[in-house]
Amino acid sequence: MVTADSLVNCPITIEDDRTGLSVETLRRALTDHLYYIQGKLPEHASRNDFYLALAFVVRDRLMPRWLYSKKNYLVPETRIVSYLSAEFLLGPHLENNLINLGIQDEVRQAVQESNLDYSALVDQEEEPGLGNGGLGRLAACYMDSLSSLEIPAIGYGIRYEFGIFDQDIRDGWQVEMTDKWLQFGNPWEIARPSFAVTVKLGGHTEPYVDNQGQYKVRWVPAQIVKGIPYDTPITGYKVNTVNTLRLWKSEAPESFDFQVFNVGDYYGAVDQKIVSENISKVLYPNDEQVQGKELRLMQQFFFVSCALQDMIRVHLTSGRRLNTFHEKFAVQLNDTHPAIGVAELMRLLIDEHDMAWDNAWNVTSRSFAFTNHTLLPEALEKWSVDLFGRILPRHLEIIYEINRRFLDQVRVKFMGDEGHLERLSLIDESGSRSVRMANLACVGSYSINGVAALHTELVKSTILKDFYELSPEKFNNKTNGVTPRRWLVQANPRLSNLISSKIGDSWIKHLHELQGLEQYADDSAFRHEWRQIKLSIKRDLAEHIQRRTGITVNPESMFDVLVKRIHEYKRQHLKVLHIITLYNRIKANPNADITPRTFIFGGKAAPGYTMAKLIIKFITSVGDVVNNDPDVRDRLKVVFLPDYNVTFGQRVYPAAELSEQISTAGKEASGTGNMKFSMNGALTIGTLDGANIEIREEVGAENFFLFGLKTPEVQELKANGYNPWDYYDSNDTLKAVLDLVAHGHFSHGDPQLFRPLLDNLLHHDPFLVLADYQAYIDCQDQVSAAYRDQDNWTRMSILNAARTGKFSSDRSISEYCEDIWKVKPLPVTVPEYDQSQAALKV
**What's the mean pLDDT in 92-104?**
98
pLDDT tens readout for residues 705-725: 999 999 999 999 999 999 999
Residue 264 has pLDDT above 80, yes or no: no
Instruction: Verify whether residue 564 is a known catalytic residue.
Output: yes
Query: Annotated catalytic residue: which of 108, 420, 565, 795?
Result: 565
**What's the mean pLDDT in 484-505?**
98
**What's the mean pLDDT in 58-87?**
95
Query: Annotated catalytic residue: which of 564, 578, 613, 635?
Result: 564
Beta strands in 475-529 (DSSP E): 475-477
Query: Annotated catalytic residue: which of 59, 108, 485, 570?
Result: 570
Output Rg (C-alpha) for the chain, integer angstroms. Answer: 28
Determine how many CB atoms are found less than 10 A away from the CB of residue 5: 8
pLDDT at 10: 46
Determine how many CB atoms are found less than 10 A away from the CB of residue 709: 20
CA 599 to chain centre: 24
What percent of the chain stands above pLDDT 90?
A: 87
Cα separations in angstroms, 23 against 20, 100, 120, 192, 502: 9, 18, 19, 32, 29
Secondary-structure breakdown of the chain: helix, strand, coil percentages, each rounded to the nearest 5: 50, 15, 35
pLDDT band at 432 (very low <50, low <70, confident <90, very high): confident
At 477, is the secondary structure helix, strand, or coil?
A: strand
Contact yes or no for 209/398 (Cβ under 8 A):
no
pLDDT at 293: 84
pLDDT band at 331 (very low <50, low <70, confident <90, very high): very high
pLDDT at 259: 58
Query: Annotated catalytic residue: which of 672, 687, 794, 804?
Result: 672
Query: Annotated catalytic residue: which of 373, 637, 667, 803?
Result: 373
At 625, is the secondary structure helix, strand, or coil?
A: helix
Residue 298 has pLDDT above 70, yes or no: yes
Q: Long-range contacts for 822-825 (Cβ within 8 Å, ≥24 apart)?
A: 822/79, 822/330, 823/79, 823/80, 823/81, 823/151, 823/152, 823/330, 824/79, 824/151, 825/149, 825/150, 825/151
pLDDT band at 218 (very low <50, low <70, confident <90, very high): very high
At 745, is the secondary structure helix, strand, or coil?
A: coil
Dmax over CA atoms of the chain, in Å, equals 98
**What's the mean pLDDT in 229-249?**
98
Residue 667 has pLDDT above 50, yes or no: yes
At 428, is the secondary structure helix, strand, or coil?
A: strand
Instruction: Verify whether residue 373 is a known catalytic residue.
Output: yes
Q: Please report the DSSP string for 44-95 in residue order.
A: G--HHHHHHHHHHHHHHHHHHHHHHHHHHHTSTT--EEEEE-S------SHH
pLDDT at 267: 55
pLDDT at 292: 64
pLDDT at 431: 83
Cα separations in angstroms, 608 against 148, 160, 176, 290, 604: 39, 20, 11, 9, 11
The rounded mean pLDDT for the chain is 94
Determine how many CB atoms are found less than 10 A away from the CB of residue 297: 22
Give the integer Cα–Cα distance in Å for 680 and 674: 10
Of 12 and 30, more confident: 30
Query: Annotated catalytic residue: which of 485, 567, 617, 676?
Result: 676
Give the integer Cα–Cα distance in Å for 250 and 833: 37
pLDDT tens readout for residues 360-383: 999 999 999 999 998 888 778 999
Of 481, 491, 540, 542, which is closest to residue 650 (Cα–Cα)? Answer: 491
> What element of type H or E holds 181?
none
Residue 253 has pLDDT above 90, yes or no: no
Contact yes or no for 525/648 (Cβ under 8 A):
no
At 662, is the secondary structure helix, strand, or coil?
A: coil
Of 664, 452, 676, 670, which is closest to residue 563 (Cα–Cα)? Answer: 676
Instruction: Verify whether residue 604 is a known catalytic residue.
Output: no
**What's the mean pLDDT in 166-176?**
97
CA atoms within 13 A on the CB side of 156: 30
pLDDT tens readout for residues 591-647: 999 999 999 999 999 998 999 999 999 999 999 999 999 999 989 999 999 999 999
Residue 291 has pLDDT above 80, yes or no: no
Give this prediction's pTM. 0.95
> Alpha-carbon dihedral of residues 636, 642, 645, 651, nearest 10 degrees?
-40
Give the integer Cα–Cα distance in Å for 264 and 1: 84
pLDDT tens readout for residues 119-152: 999 999 999 889 888 899 999 999 999 999 999 9
Residues in Cβ contact with 668 at an 8 Å cutoff, skipping those fewer than 6 apart: 375, 455, 569, 570, 661, 689, 690, 692
What percent of the chain stands above pLDDT 70?
A: 94
Residue 7 has pLDDT above 50, yes or no: no
